[in-house]
Structure 1
Amino acid sequence: MDSQQNLHQRGRHEITLYDLNLTPSVAFIEDDKPTGMQLAEKAGFAPTPQITVLQWLKHGLEDIRPTETVNLPDGNSRFIVAESDGSSRFIIDGVRYDWPAPRIPVSVIRMLASVPANKEIFLVDPDRGELLQAEGTVLDLSLAGVENLVTKVPTWKLNVQGVVLTLNTPKVKVRQALELAGVDANQGWHIFLIVQGQDKREVTLDDEIDLTAPGIEKLRLTPKDVSNGEASAELLRQFRLLPNDEAYLDSTYPSWQAILENGRQWVILPQYALPSGYSEHFVSLAIEIPTTYPMQQIDMFYLFPAVAVLSGAMIPATEYREAIQGNSYQRWSRHRGGNSQWRPGIDNVMTHLALVESAVVKEVQP
């Protein structure tokens, strides 16, 4: 027979009392069915209406009124006792909790709801979605409405040359990120980490990326120069773009080329990443720059090699082939509609590439 059973047989029961920070203290009470008033007294409070007694159950809290009794032999011997002039409410994973204070630390919510260490707590915001609540956060329950919380194993996203990875760890080695994106890490790349609001930074395969840092967006790749007698990339900038265009391409696609061929101007992106679902991971992307650009719009785009979708579905308006630098590029006849007409002075290479990205994603969306 254990000590707890001995106590019960003698009519003396061990209870655990907690404050609003869930700091425990052990007390003993000589009553099988104490009232809320008796429990408050055991916690050192005078039995006044401002004292709240909550029984801490496996799932949720139950208010114990001053004259209400609790059957201790049932085993529910945890109680939160606090001075309070009202209660607030929150819901976590569908379970309602009435809390005798207008604020509650996230660490206390974790203990109350028995949230395991591998899960994070998120506040569901109708406008902004699920917002991660850091462990040191204090949740304000006095705001209008009932705070709705959910728990889940967190994930982090990283865009590797257009392939979006969803990771269940906040840190990842560059090499591992490339391999997860289907990129041969040993091929020889200049790898740039792009963080919102900062200059791009070159990283190595052995560097570790902390995805919890604010602003991390993507890894961009460009092939390293190979000394094999070919012309340097500088010789392939055969015409000039607008300064904003060149700045954008330098930061996002450092290996871009500007080619003059048969009186036509082409911008080539030699390593353009396609989303999952295509027969190729990387292609050479070409867009034609009209001689009267930016007054005249950039239209369509071209891929080499020609691609297909793995589902077997036909990609419309891609039958025509265009010879550029001796390669047969697949023309994607995609044109601006009535709601997206070309705006000289506003639209440019960057906005056209946004339309390209939208077009290639559309063909492999479920």
Structure 2
Amino acid sequence: MALETIELEDVAACVAAGRNPRPQGPYRVQVGNGDLTFDGYRIDDPVPTGRQLLDLVSARPAEEHLVFQLLRNGDLKELTLDETVDLRTAGVERFIVFKSAESYRIELDGQVKEWGACVISGRVLKQLASAADKPDYGVWMEIRGAEDRPIDDNELVKLDGKGLERFFTGATTSTEGAEAPILPMRDRQYLEGRGLTFVEYREGAQTGVILRDYCLPDGKYQVAQADILILLPRGYPDAAPDMFYAQPWLTLALSSRYPRQADQPLIFNGQRWQRWSRHNSDWRPGTDGIWTMLKRVETALEIAA
């Protein structure tokens, strides 16, 4: 009697279809390398160990290799040799194997990820950020205190330097002759994520960002919205912004007067701005950014008297 042939259950296809794989094998799993090139492999065990996954691709000795689980949302989870993964669980996507004895940590679009090699390409970074199919997107490496560095698709970035390397993806601009952006990529992504309209300005030695039609606390001032100017010091984001500025000048709705310490002018971009003297002494280089300054602005506008 002929033996029954059992069809392989493709784990990646199940995830794409939004369903869990069947309870019993055999399964087809996708295993790739550091270039994110994947091939299909058969495995019968529904709960394999990291060592079993390395055996699938003949990655020996196992102690000199790393295996990562690549989840559908782009997150990477390292599996130790004896750690198991349940292929029947929703969200198990693919696996990546590296010939390496240690992993490296990177931050990509604000999320910390583990990577199994001491170099990574711009193309792989965009793939991990789910931006590989967006031709108008680029990837940048954050350079503290300087302009962010664009990373070409084929460029390799070393990850064995000191500290956590930070990368960001976003839409590229193709306007010929346009000036380099002033804000770090992380700041621009934060403002865009909040749906805020902003314009970056450079005037002589001064640089700043203007938030257009910024919503003010309800009923607090004579207007509901105003433009807010934040001047960026040399060395930002390691150096802290100090004060902020409003246009039009804001008066309190109940008293029709200027708030305390908000009655001096600043000329910028051909306009006369209202200076809000609110100093900042608790800035954390490498951690704080435009989101920190905006929280200070929001608090100052809320409690002004």
- TM-score normalised per structure 1: 0.42
Q: Compute the displacement of 1:127 (Å).
A: 2.0
Give 5+ residue unaligned stretches, structure 2: 1-6, 15-20, 182-246, 250-265, 274-305
Q: 1:165 to 1:148 in 2, by over 3 A?
A: closer
- The residue that corresponds to 1:135 in the other structure is 153
Larger radius of gyration between Structure 1 and Structure 2? 1
Match of 1:63 among 63, 78, 81: 78
**1:291-326, CA deviations, whole angstroms, 9 ceiling, x for partnerless residues?**
xxxxxxxxxxxxxxxxxxxx999xxxxxxxxxxxxx
1:85 aligns with 2:85: no
Which residue among 52, 63, 71 is the counterpart of 1:49?
A: 63
Q: 1:360 to 1:21 in 2, by over 3 A?
A: same
Task: Say how many residue pairs are matched.
Answer: 173
Runs of 4+, deviation exceeding 2 Å? 2-10, 155-160, 359-366
Q: 2:54 aligns with which of 8, 26, 40?
A: 40
For residues 321-336 of structure 1, what are the structure 2 equivalents within 5 Å? none
Written as runs of structure 1 = structure 2, the 5 A alignment for 1:115-154 is 115=131, 116-117=133-134, 118-154=136-172
Structure 2 residue matching 1:107: 3-state secondary structure: helix
Could you list the per-position Cα deviations for residues 46-90 of structure 1 after superposition, in whole angstroms to 9, with x for gaps in the alignment? 252111010001231001111111000114140001210212121
2:123 pairs with 1:107 = yes
Cα offsets for 1:178-197 (capped at 9, x unmatched): xxxxxxxxxxxxxxxxxxxx
| Higher alpha-carbon deviation: 109-118 or 60-69 | 109-118
Indicate conservation of the 8 Å contact 1:55/1:63, yes or no: yes
Cα deviation, residue 37, structure 1: 0.5
Structure 1 residues 312 and 143: CA distance shift in structure 2, 3 A: closer
2:122/2:154 contact within 8 Å kept: yes
Q: Per the alignment, do residues 127 and 30 of structure 1 end up closer, same or farther by CA in structure 2, a change over 3 Å counting?
A: same
Matches of 2:113 and 2:127 in 1, distance apart? 13
For 1:207-218, what aligned pairs fall within 5 Å after superposition?
A: none
Conserved 8 A contact 2:65-2:99? yes
Q: Which has the higher contact order (CA 8 A, sep 6+)?
A: 2
Q: For 1:71 and 1:10, how far apart are their aligned partners in 2? A: 11
Contact kept? 2:8, 2:42, Cα under 8 Å:
no
Alpha carbons 1:122, 1:131 under 8 Å: kept? yes
2:9 to 4, 9, 13: 4
3-state SS, counterpart of residue 46 of structure 1: coil
Give SS of 2:141's match: strand
Counterpart-to-counterpart distance in 1, 2:76 and 2:101: 17
**TM-score, normalised via structure 2 length:** 0.50
> How far apart, in 1, do the equivalents of 2:167 and 2:272 lie?
31
Instruction: Give the RMSD, CA atoms, in angstroms.
Output: 3.2
